[in-house]
Amino acid sequence: MTSLPRGAYELMRDAFVAQARLPVDNATSSLLSQLCFSAPRRARPDDVPRLALHFEGATLELPRENYMFEFEDAGGGSFTCLAVNAGDDLTIIGNYQQQNLHVLYDLVGNTLSFVPAQCNRL
């Protein structure tokens, strides 16, 4: 999962909560140390905001399945959780966010870009 410095994470978390159309599930969030929402079994894609990571010269617009994970608890409750957490002073872009993407490094042009891929077909 992606890890952001605490200050950056808290800004992102607060903006995410303000835009979400689902209630925060504090018990699950505390248990998993993740931001989690109670979700109906058929949550709509726009129930949570879109997530984009901005870099100098590149923006990575993530599909929902690359930043939210969903599960049910033993009692039948359904939850969706943000696959980003607070960490140390480093930013780590996790493999969960990079799934089905080619990350292109142009060393000559000194640029970074992202291209969608269907990795199960490679």
pLDDT of amino acid 72: 82
pLDDT of amino acid 50: 93
pLDDT of amino acid 87: 86
pLDDT of amino acid 43: 62
pLDDT of amino acid 8: 93
Please state, in angstroms and as integers, the Cα–Cα distance from residue 31 to each residue in 2, 26, 28, 39, 101, following that order.
18, 8, 5, 17, 30
CB atoms within 10 A of CB 96: 16
Mean pLDDT for each 10-residue chunk of the chain (122 residues)? Answer: 92 94 88 86 77 85 90 81 91 90 88 84 76
Sign of CA dihedral 115, 116, 120, 121: negative
